[in-house]
Amino acid sequence: MKSFLKEIEIYFSNLLIRFLRFKGTQEFIKKPSDIFDSSGKTKILLLRQDRIGDVIISVPVIKFLREKYPDIQIDILFGNYNFGIRNAVEHLVSNSYCYRKNLITDFVLVRKLRKEGYDIIVDMFDNPSTTSAILIKLIKARYSVGLDKENNYLYSHIVPLPDRRKVHIVERTANLLLPFGLDPANLDLSLEYHLTENDTKQASELLGLKNDNRRLGINLSGSDISKYWGTQNYIDFIKLVSEKYKDLDIVLFAMSRQTEELKLILSSTTSRQAPFVDSVHEYALMMSTCDFLLTTDTSAVHFAAAFKIPTIVMYSIPDGEHNLKPWLPYNNKHVIVSTPSENISAISPDKVADALKELQQK
């Protein structure tokens, strides 16, 4: 019975692959090559409908595409989860769209995108995405560009995917520039987050004007419980650094679901809370005012790199010492604190306080 079910699974999997496969000659692009027409009528659609941090690490690609093609239409498709961070790239793109995983609204969206008549779709994922595969098929751009991964049969133009264990996600994604005649090895891929005067003003209104004290931001939010350091650890750390550094304005960044933890930390320390806000963009604005940041391995790492905020990052490395390069703050001053435990709560507050001292010396 199991063998029969496996055969059915393989049959339908192959059927799907045949449906999605690019119908034409595929090209593997291993060096900078001007493949596409760069006239003002060219239209490009970028697929980035995934996580918040992935938008930030994609900024260099979008920036250099815009610099090379200042007059063409470059649009981007977000997902429901990361649409709130579109401000990070809206100054670089022509139109922003949101894929909401809703049958009716997405049907209307796909029809609209298909009518745009895109020349090129760029799949910015470095992991296979079923959603991207279906969108590429339905939108029917003339060309499609993607990294050389398991579903590379989707693309007309395939670029190398460097080793995920050794090469930073920013540099892996930047290989998507090769078919546009751009060599990522010769480009400054440092992350950026565009702020307007109104953004800076809003950040001050949300957190208050900065005085002479340095601001230490502590990001309590993580994608799961294993990325929460622990309420008592935060309390002990804040007490340690408050006693040692009298000029620190310690601000806690958290989600509304962490209200109880926040109350305990605030009642036990001299820290204060960043207000809960309605958008990821406002969250990022407040974070941009920090002089230092303490965080776990979350999108805050990429925000800090974009704002050039020296950062302490806590990692769990259960299987022993791995190469952390793919997940480090990119081109940004940082100190790493790690534990072989599956939960970062095993990291001591003393160790993190020492990391803050090291970071200041940098």
Are 340 and 224 in contact by the 8 Å Cβ rule? The answer is no
- What pLDDT is stored for residue 50 in this prediction? 87
Asked whether residue 92 carries a pLDDT value surpassing 80, the answer given is: yes
- Tell me what the mean pLDDT of segment 116-142 comes to: 94
Which SS3 state, helix, strand or coil, does residue 241 take? helix
What 3-state DSSP class applies to 238?
Answer: helix
* CA pair distance 160, 29, nearest whole angstrom: 7
Query: Which CATH class for the 197-361 domain?
Result: alpha beta
On the 0-12 / 13-18 / 19+ scale of CB atoms within 10 A, 108 is exposed
Give the CA diameter of the chain: 72
Asked if domains 19-186 and 197-361 share a fold, the reply is yes
Instruction: Assess contact for 118 and 42: CB atoms under 8 A.
Output: no
Distance between CA atoms of residues 188 and 201, nearest Å: 29
Owner of token pair 């010769």: 186
Among 67, 107, 64, 101, smallest CA distance to 83 is for 101
pLDDT tens-place string over residues 137-184:
999 999 999 999 999 999 999 999 999 888 999 999 999 999 999 999
Average pLDDT, integer, range 50-57 = 93
What is the distance between the terminal CA atoms of the chain, rounded to a whole angstrom?
63
Q: pLDDT tens across 336-356, in order?
A: 999 988 889 999 999 999 999
Superfamily assignment of 19-186 in CATH? Glycogen Phosphorylase B; (3.40.50.2000)
Tens digits of residue pLDDT in 317-338: 877 556 667 778 999 999 999 9
Q: Are the C-beta atoms of residues 216 and 250 closer than 8 Å to each other?
A: yes
Mean pLDDT for the chain? 90
Break the chain into its structural domains and give their ranges: 19-186, 197-361
| 252 and 273 Cβ atoms separated by less than 8 Å | yes
Average pLDDT over residues 118-144: 94
Average pLDDT of the segment spanning 262-267: 96
Could you please report the per-residue DSSP string of 72-137? SEEEEEEETTTGGGGGGTTTT-SEEEEE-S-HHHHHHHHHHHHHHT-SEEEE--SS--HHHHHHHH
